[in-house]
Structure formats: C-alpha cells, structure tokens
A and B are shown apart, each in its own frame.
Chain A
Amino acid sequence: MTSGSWLRLRATVAERGFDLDLALEAGERLAVLGPNGAGKSTLLGLLAGTVRPDSGRAELGGRVLFDLPARTWQPPHSRGIALLAQDPLLFPHLSVLENVAFGPRVNGLGRAAARARAEHWLSEVDATNLAGRRATELSGGQAQRVAIARALATEPELLLLDEPLAALDVSVAPAIRRLLARVLAGRTTLIVTHDLLDALVLADRALVLDAGSAVEDGPTEQVLQRPRTRFAARLAELNLIRGVAVADGVQAGPDLVLQGMAAEPLTTGEPAVAAFAPSAVSVYLDPPHGSPRNLVAVTVSEVEQRGGIVRVRADDHRGHKLAADVTPRAAAELDLYPGREVVFSLKATAVALYPA
C-alpha cells in the first residue's frame, strides 16, 4: 500500500476477530459494506477513538492517532474526526444553531465567529430557517440535515458516516442522499452502509468486510459488477444500466433512454448509470400504450421461485443482465419461460441516476 496516504490504519482486535490494513487518499470516499458483525462498527470505533485495539497504528494527515502497544493514544476529541450516526443525536437541550456552533465553540472559536460558522453550514444544508428551533422540534429529515451541518462545522480531516440514511423515512432519504453527495465531494469520508445506492452515489471506492477482514476492495462499480463474495453478489442484485447522460435521463441505446432521479447533477454527454431494484420492475408481454414509464425490451433467461416471489432474470440484448421480482400469480398469468420476449417497465421515481 502507498505510504503517502492521508489515512493509514492497521489494527487487530482479538476479541472481535478484527484484523485490517486500510489506506485512504485525501478526498477519497470509501463505502464499507458487510454483513452484521463483520467489523464495520469496530472500524468506526477504532477511528473515532471509542475502541482500543490490541495492537496497531493509525495516522491521519501525518499525525499519529494511535500506536499500540507503544502507548500512543489520541483521545477522540483531539483526532479531528467527526462522526455522523444513523440517529442525528442533536443535543436536545440546545437550539439548532447552538448545536451546529457546538463544535466550533469547543474548538476555541469566539461566540460570534462560531455563530457565523454555524449559520454558514446551516445554509449549506438548506436549514437556515430551522436555526432558532429547539433540536427536539425537528422531523427526522430536518434533524439529519442539522446533524450533517454540525459534523461539517468542525471542518474534520476525516468524516465517519454510520448508516446515515438508515433511520430516515423512504420519502426523505433521497433528498438527504443528494445533500450528502453534494457536501461530501472532495472530502475524505468513510461511509458504513447496508444500502448499495449509498455506496454508488456517495463513494468512489467500496470495501467489503467479512469476519473482521477485508474480502473485497476496489472502485465501487467494479466490486459490485464482478463480485467475488456472496455478500457483494447479493448486494449487486440491483440492476445497473450504463449509458451516457442526456437532458432527460441516461441514454443506453439508440431507442432506450431511462428517466430517473439524479442523485447529483449529471453533465450531458458524460458516462452515467441508471440503477433500480428488481422489486421496482413490472413485467408486461406487450409495451403498455401511452405509458410514461421507462420500458426495456428483454428476453427472459431464467425464472426462479424464491420463497414468496418469483425472480425473473432477463437479457436486454445490449449486454445488461436485469432482474425483476414478480408475484407467483403474475408469473403464471404471463406464462414466463426462458426465451420469452417481454417488456420491463419502471417508474422514473424508482430509478436512480448517477455519474459513472
């Protein structure tokens, strides 16, 4: 591994079977994926300073965070590492503005300067209008916006995100994901997540942990498209269609433009990817008339019964292998079998677009 990395961590925690060697470049955004108990929380704890390893060494921006057993140990408050958890954890006894000003204040900034910094970050997350409210008066999405501002107001050298969207309502999560994509650009970040979309939209690189060790590591898309582990393969069941960004979506062929929700602004003409879950797909025998939906003509390659649903795998003749989940009853009515020509239909709101 490179020795000039911004973050370098090597640590073992025997009790949890954790043994990891990790390097991160300045400005790199790493998604950490893995099943429960894989060591994701341990990794966050080691960096934040709440878990002490048996042995290991970590450096951030040339400063030693810990070096054990040589007994060097920086406490959490002097590490320059901010943590954004699943729960916003805003201090309930403070106002929104006081919450965001907390970091700058305890780091020695004067009252007025801390206030100005807090106002700046509240406007960055579009929450200026919440400044005077009590932290307990906010909705989940509003609170997470404020928590993002609070974490960034300390200008951390490394930002840790612990499933930042997991506790949010599905109607709110996309907006917060878009906000994170914007404010995290160029910021050294480590994101623990269960959600593939978070990894695709928020991170450049993905690391899959299993039983305390790294089992896959590489550019996010590469890890997901050529998964070597079962966990990554299961995550990768999300459908991906590559193409070029156009005015109203992603163009994946002469007659195929996928419309969707862009997580961050797309530049026309640049490579882009459309992602959607198999459960978001409806299957038709003929293209429905006058439908505003995305339609993809495919040939069924495999029909697989999986508990209560039927997984339909299909090929779109452009090199994309796609999957759809339908009910057993729909599968029977459509008479699906390998080789049958069908149409996959998708609501634009169920398709995420992002730059490739």
Chain B
Amino acid sequence: MTRTESTLPRWVFVMAAVGAGFVLLPLAAMTTRVDWLRFGELITSESSVAAFWLSLKTSGASTLACLILGVPMALVLARTRFPGQGVVRALVLLPLVLPPVVGGIALLYTFGRRGLLGATLEVMGLQIAFSTVAVVIAQTFVALPFLVVSLEGSLRTLGQRYEVVAATLGARPTTILGRVTLPLVLPGLLSGTVLSFARSLGEFGATLTFAGSLQGVTRTLPLEIYLQREVDADAAVALSLVLVAIALAVIGLATRRAQVIR
C-alpha cells in the first residue's frame, strides 16, 4: 500500500528529531561510561545478583497481581455504567500521577504495623512492611493503572458487538469472556502487561518508603543501583545497563508478539 505524502511542516521534523535525541543521548552517554573490563565482575557480584533475581521475582509477581486485579477492573470500567464511575476511574488512575514516595507512605499507613489493616494482619501473624511481600505490593500499586488504562482502551475500541453475537449463540458470560473478549483484546492486554512489568521493574520511591532496602529481601535493582552509586559508580553504571537491556528485550518481545497476533 502506498502512503499519502505528509503535509507536515519541516520544523515539526526538526523538533521531533530533537525530542528523539533528548531520549537517546543520555542512554548513549551512559554506555560510554561503562567499564567494560570489569563489567562481568560488577554485574555478578553477590549483591548485584541478589538484587537482579529479587527484581525479576517481585516484578513477575506484581505483574501477575496486576492481571488478577486489573483485568476485572478494566472490564467493569469498560462494560458497565454506574453512578460515580468517572470519579472511580480518576481515583484508580491516581497512582499514575502520584509521586511514588507518597504512594509508599500511603501503603505504610495501610499495611504497616500501625496502619489501617496492619494490626489485623499482625494478629493473623502477618508482618508485611519491610518484607518481600511489601515490595510486590508497592510495585503492584504503581503498576496497576498501566494495565487498567491499556486494557480499558482496547475493550472500548472493540465494542460489545461480538459479545452480543456470542451471547445470542448461547455462550455464557464466562465463556464469552474467555473465548471472545480476551482473545480479541490480546494485543492490548499484552502491551498493558508489558507496561506494568516495566513499571514494576523500575519502581523505586514507593519500594524504598514502604519496604526499605534489605539485601536479598527488599533491595531491588533500582535500589541497588542508587546505593552502589555512592560506593562504586562503575557498578551503578553497569547495573543500569542491565536494566536498559531488560527493558529493550521486554519491549521488543511485546511488539513482535502483538504484530503476530494482529
């Protein structure tokens, strides 16, 4: 298919190029500072490896939590109408714009020892604050809106027409969800999942506030990088590069899969 020539003015291209440079230049600048001779040694130190695995595990768990909670939230927001829906949607999206450190404080006063639910949880023998579970909670809190927004958009674009047809063919609500709705919004669901995984992986402020920084327990890669920067700048740069590589791999994988599905 031939594309129509654009009518964009030339200065738009100039500004777009400046914008692209603004994003890419810092990444390039960082790679020039990598100490390649010690790279392997730096990223395989005991604390780095511990942070790396902790990050993957907690981000995986929080992505799963986002799916379990976020898919129903997106479905309800996209497919029903109820009084105050606009307010509910705005509040659900709040973590998107809230400074993460504020989110961490809010979580502390919910699940912390003196928090709203903390006392009850303690009676049940559960201490959440400053544990690995706290890391997962903090990541889920900040990443959830990404999944909800992305999936709700896909659901609205899809519309309800296929679902109505499936119902008149005799499909029950759960069957429609599993065999029609979710397969048809798979690209949106996938990109939402990737976005929330990436957001979880990069989470810093809420984690530090609510979960602290204990090696192997709550010190994820971003926390480790921040800590190393004080001690050994080379290690911080090397680990940063690892995070960039993971991010690129995740994005590449997701866009490739989305194209296959389309």
Interface residues of A (CB under 8 A from B): 48-50, 75-83, 85, 87, 89, 91-93, 102-103, 106-107, 150-151, 154, 160
Contact = CB atoms under 8 A, between A and B. Distances in A.
B166 to A, nearest CB: 7
Given A91-B180, A92-B184, A93-B184, A154 B170 contact: yes
A106 B164 contact: no
Contacts, number: 60
B157 interface: no
Contacts of A80: 170
B180 A76 contact: no
Nearest to B172: A77
A179 B180 CA distance: 28
A79 B168 CA distance: 8
27 contacts: A49-B168, A76-B167, A77-B170, A77-B172, A77-B173, A78-B170, A82-B168, A83-B164, A89-B162, A89-B165, A91-B162, A91-B166, A91-B180, A93-B183, A102-B166, A102-B169, A102-B171, A102-B179, A103-B170, A106-B169, A106-B170, A106-B171, A106-B172, A107-B170, A150-B169, A151-B169, A154-B169
A85 B165 contact: yes
The interface residues of chain B, by DSSP majority, are classed as helix
A49 B173 CA distance: 13
Contacts of A49: 167-168
Contacts of A92: 184
A103 B183 CA distance: 17
A300 B180 CA distance: 59
Nearest to B171: A106
Contacts of B175: 106
B3 interface: no
A15 B17 CA distance: 54
Interface string B149-184: 000000000000110111111111101000110011
A79 B169 CA distance: 9
A192 B53 CA distance: 61
B184 A82 contact: no
Contacts of A154: 169-170
A51 to B, nearest CB: 11
Given A81-B168, A151-B168, 7 more contacts: A49-B167, A75-B167, A76-B164, A83-B164, A91-B184, A151-B169, A154-B169
A50 B164 contact: yes
Contact of B168 (A48, A87, A93): A48
A82 B164 CA distance: 10
A107 B184 CA distance: 21
A229 B162 CA distance: 36
Interface string B108-142: 00000000000000000000000000000000000
Nearest to A106: B171
B171 A77 contact: yes
- Lowest 4 CB-CB distances: which A-B pairs, in order? A76-B167, A103-B169, A106-B171, A83-B168
Contacts of B169: 77, 82, 102-103, 106, 150-151, 154
A77 B167 contact: yes
Nearest to A87: B161
